Copies of this chain bind each other. A is one copy, B any other.
Amino acid sequence: MAPAPSPLAFIPFVSVENMMRLVHHFGIETMLRELTDAIEADYLRWHLFEKTPRLASHSKEGVIELMPTSDGEAFAFKYVNGHPSNIAKGLQTVAAFGLLARVDTGYPLLLAEMTLLTALRTAATSAMVARRLAPAGSRVMAMIGNGAQAEFQAIAMKAIVGIEEVRLFDIDQAATQKVARNLAGSGLRVVPCDTSEDAIEGAHIVTTCTADKVYATILSDNMVGAGIHINAIGGDCPGKTELHKDILGRAATFVEFEPQTRIEGEIQQMDDSYPVTEFWKVLSGEAQGRTDARQITLFDSVGFAVEDFSALRYVLGKLEGTEYFQQLDMVADPDDPRDLFGMLQRAAA
């Protein structure tokens, strides 16, 4: 018998199945609230993070990205693809996993699926921003684009911002029906709409989350009244936007990490002099958020590595005392670190 691997060799791994169990164990609203606070706490430590551009490998079908960051104690990266053509093949357009590691030794701490976790952290980030920027007393959200992210967005806005009604629109009615079905029993009043104009009627928050990789106009200028918050999460890579640029001209725009959003966000339509505020500055008090009830605030969200870092650290903390992980023998750990070959030889015995 080969000797058993040492405890150092094992890395906890959270599969898709276990991530779902974890969510149900703690409850999705509790997890979204805690995750929102975890991301906010990390945004308040903004200066500690190593902020690298993501590493993207483009092909004609899509993109594969590695998104790393570090706060000097932990290092995290997410592997994520974006393949709009996957839908036609019955595959997810986005699949992701991530890793957290110790900076002082380089040893991994956690490997986790991040397709579900990304949906959760994206919704938590949207809610973190909306609870600071949306008009006081916001109760109604329009949800334009009813794909994989929609329910997570709606539930986060309910749990963290106090949204009571969600008004749905998608060019594909089946998508709207799916969201309405899934949100029955969520405690939200769900209103399917026939046009995006209907959906926006009376909304305090407008969330846009459509998937096409094109310069689209999901919202045109005349559709957008005063005193709303726009949570724009679909325009998130070069060549993919959702808002007419005239809306940007009237809005106060907030971003995650300006150099990345200039390339990937709605503001790729504007020149470099267009003013934006990095949202962490609102949290730290270095910049103002909403200044006027009639203002249009816009969160031009593209997804940033710090949010994945927060999500992975949050999940690692929740695992303790649960059984929602497997131990993976992923790191060779010989008795004598220089004796890798001896470890291999002894395994043959």
Q: Mark A residues whose CB is within 8 Å of B.
A: 2, 5, 8-9, 13, 15-17, 20-21, 23-24, 28, 50, 52, 55, 57, 59, 61-64, 66, 68, 70, 72, 75, 77, 79, 81-83, 86-87, 89-93, 95, 97, 99, 101, 103-108, 113, 115-116, 119, 146-152, 175, 178-179, 181-182, 328-334, 336-345, 347-348
Contact = CB atoms under 8 A, between A and B. Distances in A.
Contacts of A92: 331-334, 337, 340
A86 B182 CA distance: 50
A104 to B, nearest CB: 5
B5 A345 contact: no
B338 A87 contact: yes
B104 A59 contact: yes
A83 B106 contact: yes
Contacts of A150: 341
B20 A87 contact: no
Q: How many copies does the complex hold?
A: 2
A340 B66 contact: no
A152 to B, nearest CB: 6
Contacts of A93: 337
6 contacts: A15-B328, A62-B104, A77-B79, A83-B104, A92-B333, A179-B341
Contacts of A182: 339, 341-342, 345
A2 B16 contact: no
A147 B20 CA distance: 44
A105 B86 contact: yes
A5 B95 CA distance: 15
Given A77-B66, A332-B95, A338 B147 contact: yes
A135 B79 CA distance: 44
A66 B64 contact: no
A82 B101 CA distance: 13
Contacts of A328: 13, 15, 328
Contacts of A82: 106
A107 B119 contact: no
B83 A105 contact: yes
A336 B115 CA distance: 14
Nearest to A9: B16
A340 B115 contact: yes
Contacts of A107: 81, 91, 95
Contact of A329 (B8, B15, B52, B339): B15
By CB atoms of chain B within 10 A, which of A8, A28, A105, A333 has the most?
A105
Nearest to A104: B61
Given A24-B347, A99-B79, A330 B68 contact: no
Nearest to A211: B338
A142 B267 CA distance: 60
Contacts of A59: 70, 72, 103-104
A341 B148 contact: yes
A114 to B, nearest CB: 9
A348 B79 contact: no
B64 A57 contact: no
A336 B28 CA distance: 21
A328 to B, nearest CB: 6
Given A92-B340, A116-B340, A119-B341, 9 more contacts: A5-B16, A8-B91, A52-B55, A62-B105, A66-B68, A91-B337, A92-B333, A148-B339, A178-B339
